[in-house]
């Protein structure tokens, strides 16, 4: 990792730890020991395994969508790609750092940069569509659970719909008006590279135009001739989010609490939407405070802090560990290629 990345990792993890310590200080009391005696390690281990299964769904999504464009990558290469993405996502706001990592790894697997970009952006579009659909389902079918969380739930749904509308608009522009996208990219490239030599700027602009054409071609291919990739992508996206939501219920059962399947479904949707906003690196602090405030409505205050700590260990700190392991594998691979 670069020094700047290490710095942001320390900031993200440090902020998360500080918030978790404060939450534990405010929630632990004499009843906490009683609840800790009810812990069932089997369900906590199952939560970790379910989270790994969630990453497998993501890897299958990347593999199937890549295959639909005519490129083949192995499942374990795709899984390592996902793991590498987790580390970058943990240190960037809205987890945006994961996208360049996935694009780079697809490019290293001989997927043209434009096609790799199309795949990764299409993943974001599918995430937004599925989250919006699940939120709409929750509002219609789980209205009582949704209303129990107050006005914040309505705000999150509104933000989700804006996010999805924005993704669909960019999707439309990439297909119908690539000339506008090229103009914007060219202006940005010339602005940020204005101190470069003219020849280098022209080369950068020319390459950007070429990759935009590749991206446009890939998106059109998805819509016209690679619909199978979109269908597979939609299915694995749905399985990904359902699996991620179920993980919280498994942790609750492991702590001797009711699974709160319906309530947890709504809460996890809100947290997923909230964590997509570019507020803090890796959503540190935001996720912890949000989970504590909402789950405290349904489980005893004595155990809610412990729950949030384990939940973040599974979905955040475990991700960092997987990302570091994957990064080591990639560094070794790059070293062998140089040799």
pLDDT at 170 exceeding the cut of 70: no
Tens-place pLDDT, residues 251-309:
999 999 988 888 888 888 888 877 776 667 767 778 888 889 889 888 888 999 999 99
pLDDT at 158: 67
Among 319, 276, 313, residue whose Cα is nearest residue 90: 319
pTM for this one? Answer: 0.82
Count Cβ atoms below 10 Å from residue 172 Cβ, excluding itself: 11
pLDDT at 248: 94
pLDDT at 60: 96
- Mean pLDDT taken over the chain: 82
Tens-place pLDDT, residues 2-54:
666 677 778 888 888 899 999 999 988 888 888 888 889 999 999 999 999 99
Distances (CA, A) of 189 to 100, 166, 185, 196, 275: 17, 23, 6, 11, 29
C-alpha dihedral sign at 243, 244, 245, 246: positive
User: Could you tell me the residue range of the domain that residue 92 belongs to?
Assistant: 3-338
User: How many folded domains does the chain comprise?
Assistant: 1
Tens-place pLDDT, residues 199-211:
776 777 777 777 6
Full DSSP string of 154-182? HHHHHHHHHHHHHHHHHHHHHHH-HHHHH
Tens-place pLDDT, residues 296-309:
888 888 999 999 99
Q: Do the beta carbons of residue 100 and residue 210 sit within 8 Å?
A: no
Q: If pLDDT is split at 50, 70 and 90, which confidence band does 220 have?
A: confident
Six token digits for residue 162: 């804006």
Of 144-158, 165-179, 216-230, the range with the lowest mean pLDDT is 144-158
């Amino acid at each position: 990792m670069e020094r700047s990345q290490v710095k942001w990792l320390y900031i993200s993890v440090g902020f998360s730890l500080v918030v978790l310590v404060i939450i534990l200080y405010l929630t632990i009391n004499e009843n906490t020991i009683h609840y800790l005696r009810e812990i069932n390690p089997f369900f906590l281990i199952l939560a970790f395994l379910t989270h790994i299964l969630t990453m497998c769904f993501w890897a299958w999504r990347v593999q199937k969508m890549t295959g639909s464009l005519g490129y083949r990558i192995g499942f374990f290469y795709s899984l390592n790609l996902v793991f590498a993405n987790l580390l970058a996502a943990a240190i960037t706001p809205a987890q945006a750092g994961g996208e360049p990592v996935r694009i780079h790894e697809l490019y290293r697997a001989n997927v043209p940069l434009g096609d790799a970009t199309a795949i990764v952006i299409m993943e974001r579009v599918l995430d937004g569509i599925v989250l919006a659909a699940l939120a709409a389902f929750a509002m219609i079918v789980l209205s009582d659970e949704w209303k129990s969380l107050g006005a914040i739930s309505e705000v999150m749904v509104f933000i989700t719909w804006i996010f999805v509308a924005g993704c669909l608009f960019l999707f439309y522009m990439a297909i119908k008006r690539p000339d506008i996208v090229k103009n914007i990219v060219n202006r940005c490239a010339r602005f940020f590279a204005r101190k470069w030599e003219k020849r280098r700027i022209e080369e950068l602009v020319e390459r950007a135009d070429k990759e935009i054409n590749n991206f446009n071609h890939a998106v059109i291919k998805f819509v016209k001739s690679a619909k199978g990739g979109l269908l597979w992508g939609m299915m694995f996206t749905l399985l990904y989010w359902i699996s991620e939501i179920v993980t919280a219920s498994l942790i609750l059962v492991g702590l001797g609490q009711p699974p709160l399947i319906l309530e947890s479904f709504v809460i996890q949707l809100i947290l997923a939407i909230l964590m997509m906003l570019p507020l803090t690196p890796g959503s540190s602090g935001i996720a912890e405070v949000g989970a504590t405030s909402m789950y405290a409505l349904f489980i005893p205050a004595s155990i809610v802090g412990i729950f949030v700590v384990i939940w973040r260990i599974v979905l955040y700190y475990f991700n960092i560990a997987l990302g570091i392991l994957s990064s080591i594998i990639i560094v070794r691979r790059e070293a062998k290629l140089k040799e």
